[in-house]
Structure 1
Amino acid sequence: MLGAIGLALLGAPLVTLPTPAFGGDPTLIAIASDPAQMRLYCFSTRCGDEEWRLATSGRAKGPEIDPLDLPPLRTVLLPGSQRHVGGVRAPATSRTSRAMYSNDYRIGTRYGVQALRDGPTQVGLSFGAGYRLAPLHDDGINRPGTVFRGEVSIGQRLGERARWSQRVQFESGHGDTFVKQSMRLDVDLWPYWKLETDFAIRHDSNGGGGSESAESSIELIRRF
């Protein structure tokens, strides 16, 4: 009897058990038949079912990287972002100068050279040619016409508060020669007070007869 029952069970087809009922709701039946749909949505950078998704996609899981183990970012300096550029200097100003000028007394050209300009001593000279328009309105000969002019200037700093300077100016033309020599001493007395002294000698050949004059001044100046 038992043997007959065993043979009947072995020969019968496989019977699938019915799906448990959930109140007859088709939606609940569909969810229960597919467990994957019961997983919650994940908004994190790493979901709890990451291993399941990697296994189903056939990719191997790589090693985890700790952000603290990453090397620090290297600061990149763009061109022009530096405040100071080492080894670069502004070009030096020229020691020579050329100019064309015109005023109420003369028109002409002038060329100047600064022989010494750095340090306590300064030496400069200039010369040029022009045409005098009006006589006896500035330092020069007393007749209009073509003239040649020149100047030599010397400056010397005396300590931290005093400076001495000397200028020799000359102009010649039509056989006449004019020379002016001036000397000046400036002294800083107090932060806003300055003493200025000036002495000048003028010599004019005036067609061979010649004339000389001298003048001097002492001034105490208050700067505001």
Structure 2
Amino acid sequence: MLAGWWLAVAGLPIYTHPLPAAPEQPAVTAVFSRQVPLRRPCYRLSCRDVEWVAGAARPRIWSPKAPGVQPRTVAQPLVKLPDRRFVSLHSPFSSREWTRAGGNHVRWDASYGLEAIRSPETLLRVEFGTGFRIEPYTDYGTAAMGPVARGQLQLSQELGRHASFTQQVQVETGRENTFLRQTLAFDYELFPQWTLRSDFELRHDTLGNGGRGSTDTEGSLKLRRVF
């Protein structure tokens, strides 16, 4: 429902066209009424990103030997009401989408996020929104006070058992300029308590250097030991 409200408020032209699953309704109405899910289809016998599944039996952690004493379980059973039917369901995964709204002395904004890919090896998050900037250039923002549009992309990739790669891209555009920040990180576990970490950061301001644009870069190589 939150996704439908966000698409309706944003009013982007791409969301006014009908979707193949509901050709008789606009995309905003189909998403809001939950006729078209935002979850990727799964054609496997066992899907990793399942929603509701039947609850497993509670394992016993202590079995009494004396008669008349009930065994102790990990979780206490729910009380079944006389006029209610109890179905044990649980969701092993959290929601793929979220909304966020708030602000401080720097800016006020609202955004909508979605996990496009979520697997044990890969995680891809996309977030976009609009807001109002109060302090210029603070927190990697634009150069003038006023309405802004923001976007963010986060990618985490496990490269085998000992290496991982992380990338984050932030962009904000306003009346005067566009500011982009990109960070790259590569971690490699040398030993169980030793990790080699390399970072690279790029910042680009379209208003810098007299309006011709400026780009700043920096990097680091660190060796970390966990005690």
TM-score scaled by structure 1? 0.58
- Give the superposed CA RMSD: 2.7
Identify the residue that residue 19 of structure 1 maps to in structure 2. none
Which ranges in structure 1 are unaligned for 5 or more consecutive residues? 1-74
Cα deviation for residue 118 of structure 1 reads: 1.5
Match of 2:223 in 1: 220
Counterparts of 1:222 and 1:81, CA distance in 2: 42
* Cross-structure match for 1:195: 196
Structure 2 counterpart SS, 1:139: coil
* AA partner of residue 113 (structure 2): G
SS at match of 1:124: strand
Q: Which has the larger radius of gyration?
A: 1
What is the DSSP-based 3-state SS (H/G/I as helix, E as strand, rest coil) of the residue aligned with 1:160?
coil
Number of positions where the alignment pairs a residue of Structure 1 with one of Structure 2: 149
Contact 1:180 1:203 in 2 (8 A): yes
2:140 is equivalent to residue 155 of structure 1: no
Q: In structure 2, do the counterparts of structure 1 residues 174 and 119 end up closer, same or farther at CA, with 3 Å as the change threshold?
A: same
* Shift in Å, 1:135: 1.6
Mapped partners of 2:73, 2:215: distance in 1: 63
Counterpart residue type for residue 127 of structure 1: F
CA distance in 2, matches of 1:105, 1:178: 15
Residues in 2 aligned to 1:187 and 1:104: alpha-carbon distance in whole angstroms? 38
Identical amino acids, percent of aligned pairs: 35
1:59-92 CA-to-partner distances (Å, cap 9, x unmatched) read xxxxxxxxxxxxxxxx9998x965589x754453
Write the distance in 2 (CA, Å) between the matches of 1:212 and 1:83.
56
Residue pairs, 1:139-150, within 5 angstroms: 139-150=140-151
In structure 2, how many angstroms separate the alpha carbons of the residues matched to 1:76 and 1:129? 63
Write the mapping of 1:1-224 to structure 2, written as runs, cut at 5 A.
83=74, 88-206=89-207, 208-224=211-227
CA positional deviation for 1:217: 1.1
> Within 2, Cα distance between the matches of 1:191 and 1:83?
33
Bigger helix fraction: 1
Deviation digits for residues 147-199 of structure 1 (CA, Å, limit 9, x no counterpart):
11001122211111110111221100004111122211012222222222111
Unaligned stretches of 5+ residues in structure 2: 1-66, 78-87
Q: Name the CA shift for 1:104/1:218 in 2 (closer, same or farther; >3 Å).
A: farther
